[in-house]
Structure 1
């Protein structure tokens, strides 16, 4: 019979933070990265760059096929009667649909999507992606530029973050009573010996390290982006003290949000950000290049659909190796690294929802919303680039996406006010990443869905401190840490791989247990 996971008295000492192996390996990684960077910053950067390049070239195709398989298996599952099964032994959802979708959008899109939304489409407009043969910088290049951005932030990316893995975790935790930890994804394959042994701690630690590497990056880059924006708009100092002040404020916001829990701070922050994003979108659509944006979205989404498999299966053999390394493979590996803890968070907030609702929300609705957002910001940037109002060619060739975001924002209706609104939006998006990921890491330590608020704060502060130290060394170390998530995607991909067949099995098991289908 379904039952809730066992709750025991809170552990003390080091176990209060979770599994000692997870804690030692995770904190050890943070300390080692920082200390090695202080000892020889070039050695760390060069070593990670070498591993990054090798992983992208050698395993890039594997990552791409894993995302493709996850999406199509998830969609196939959503069409079966088993998808009516409810998650978490609840007949009704814990929160309203709007609140639930708001948290999903703000957590998974987060600062990365907002950070790249203005600049990436313009980059693909001035540097034609290998899947297309249009002349860069011309009207014919618009649809391909948007389509390539949709590929990176679309159906495949979202599906791997919270569909099949979330189904496996929901069944194992809420029905079988297993802990809400990454190791639980392998429980259906390796059994109970994994749950209690040191290997389980290593599995969890790999996922926590990948998440830390992927989250500290947006936190650190936000400080540089906001500092640059305030300097350009108001002439405020742009140096490290300003970046540190921004980090302190950001950390205070997302730590407080994480401590208050899913139903208070995390939910309120996400709802506010969705309303702010809708307001910005309305202004752009009503007072910006409206007809251009509508037509570009239609043609861009059409190109996304028609060239879907071409873009999704492009390899280093058919495209420039550097392009695959820094674009498709980088993003896909980044999403794989995030996947286990994102799946934990999605399973936590989706109690009372059906498997079908969760898959459709995560793998269909959210990517469509993301493509619209990329069209509004990035499509506007393309319009202003095409008409000569701005020129981001040099900045984007140097991967200066903070410059691109601010430049596009200032060109939009409202000018400085719009730029401030987008800086605020980006800040809160990163805060929603920080609070949800602090919460998710704390859940890994606790093994259930209501971890100690102080443990949530501990991980939130740890990530902010790491970002502060790395920024002190230079933004290059933040970039090196982000590259490291591509390397961590190797073990993490093996952890989520069994979800391809265990996800449907878990959904059918829940459906039988709930009497939806016959045994």
Structure 2
């Protein structure tokens, strides 16, 4: 067994500077195949993926839940350990300022999904009581449970799997040992150099790329329908395909330009602007909206979230309606698992000079708490207006029309039309920050190094926009079908994440030992199976 990887053997050759042909072939082939099959038999594709989605949720839902739970609790234990003082990437000072760093994390990981669901999901759980609770729907007693359930889906567990233990493993093997920033590196300590050099490694990377493409094209496509719907309701503009296509072109140009200019320019500038806009909207909502109601709702909701944490996190189809678990908890958890490896790559890339403790706490604690505040401001306001009779979203949300919910709540907020436009702009930029970061991360995976060729970043950004445009042409339903597919892709991706449960702490102690921070007995992270 080799105790050290051979960097020369594991880095891509010069002939592969634009991408690993296995990764490009499989991921690009998936995109082409999905689009062609959808054009040939839209209903058949939808039915096949729907059946796979239902089976995965029913059979593997508990496994996904357990993976998230273990990731969070092990990450918290690592964060308070002596090894957490080790610094990432061999830098004494951080590569990015704290504000820039946190802005990129928030905008990349919360992204359009969080903003898209922030207004509607709490109201949905208010009008349809979640199975973990027995409060009467639509009453004042149902407020805390509605917020708590939303916090469960977008809180500590979701964020931890996106960039805590996996980011530690990637940071150690990339910066300290010279391996590429690719998902296959997460399996190197187990499978060795054969994985890094062979086609199996390409398959591992391709599965992770496909999951992210499926998860990112969804928000891109849904944003086009949401903004076109908003412009129609506010200004009477057509919400047809031409308008949606125009929105996609503008959005694509925005995030492709951002990805092309890199982390230190476009990506961080877009993220900073979005954070300032989000803070401005939050301040207006809190100061001029139902301030007392929001304050009380947050305290009660967060308290319920903590006290009912394990009850909600371990709810299964045996104790809850199967459809509810399939479309809520399992769907979201699988979505986050699908994003896990590439998000971890991005977190490791932007966290050079930070301690392991800072990286874990920022991703798995600070960001989730900020998310709960955001969900309370938008969703809590929606609950307040629903409770007081100002709006009625019961029918729309029962039909899962979250674009209607977002716009309706936005118009009821202080400022009316202006606030609605601001939230549409915020949602657009949030999706753009996901698009640019994932275009960058996919390019990193394809090329095997953290300064991927600009052409590769542009290619993936344009590809995702083009895919969204084609699927929207067939109807927004096909976008939803693709998003269901991420639950299926979570199966192989979860196997890539699983070893990080023990490799994360091992890598952290190895980093700390090499930096002279701990004299703990050597943990052999270099063994190969």
In the superposition, the TM-score normalised over structure 1's length comes to 0.98
Tell me if 1:104 matches 2:105. Answer: yes
Instruction: For 1:422-461, list aligned pairs within 5 A.
Output: 422-461=423-462
Tell me if 1:236 matches 2:237. Answer: yes
Tell me if 1:488 matches 2:501. Answer: no
CA distance in 2, matches of 1:3, 1:29: 31
Contact 1:3–1:175 (Cα < 8 Å) also in 2:
no
Instruction: For 1:76-87, list aligned pairs within 5 A.
Output: 76-87=77-88
Aligned to 1:272: 273
Residue 448 of structure 1, CA deviation: 1.4
Instruction: For 1:153-172, list aligned pairs within 5 A.
Output: 153-172=154-173
CA distance in 2, matches of 1:113, 1:364: 16
CA distance in 2, matches of 1:10, 1:313: 46
Residue 25 of structure 1, CA deviation: 0.4
Aligned to 2:402: 401
Aligned to 1:297: 298
Aligned to 1:136: 137
Deviations 1:14-52 (A, max 9, x none): x34311111110000000000000110000000000000
Partner of 1:318, secondary structure, is coil
CA distance in 1, matches of 2:418, 2:84: 45
Contact 2:444–2:452 (Cα < 8 Å) also in 1:
yes
CA distance in 2, matches of 1:92, 1:275: 25
Change (3 A) 1:5 1:375: farther
CA distance in 2, matches of 1:54, 1:95: 43
Aligned to 1:44: 45
Residue 4 of structure 1, CA deviation: 12
CA distance in 2, matches of 1:158, 1:5: 31
Partner of 2:404, secondary structure, is helix
Partner of 1:413, secondary structure, is coil
Aligned to 2:328: 327
Change (3 A) 1:92 1:318: same
Tell me if 1:67 matches 2:68. Answer: yes
In structure 1, list runs of 5 or more residues that go unmatched. Answer: none
Aligned to 2:523: none
In structure 2, list runs of 5 or more residues that go unmatched. Answer: 521-529
Deviations 1:135-159 (A, max 9, x none): 0000000000000000000000000
In the superposition, the TM-score normalised over structure 2's length comes to 0.96
Change (3 A) 1:75 1:231: same
Tell me if 1:208 matches 2:209. Answer: yes
Residue 11 of structure 1, CA deviation: 3.2
- Size of the aligned set, in residue pairs, is 517
Partner of 1:109, secondary structure, is helix
CA distance in 1, matches of 2:34, 2:428: 26
Change (3 A) 1:459 1:103: same
Change (3 A) 1:258 1:131: same
CA distance in 2, matches of 1:481, 1:186: 27
Aligned to 1:259: 260
Tell me if 1:11 matches 2:19. Answer: no
Change (3 A) 1:106 1:3: farther
Aligned to 1:362: 363
Tell me if 1:497 matches 2:498. Answer: yes
CA distance in 2, matches of 1:3, 1:70: 26
Aligned to 2:417: 416
CA distance in 1, matches of 2:4, 2:355: 16
Instruction: For 1:144-159, list aligned pairs within 5 A.
Output: 144-159=145-160
CA distance in 1, matches of 2:447, 2:54: 36
Aligned to 2:508: 507
Deviations 1:492-512 (A, max 9, x none): 000000000000000000000
CA distance in 2, matches of 1:183, 1:3: 13
CA distance in 2, matches of 1:42, 1:276: 40
CA distance in 2, matches of 1:17, 1:69: 37
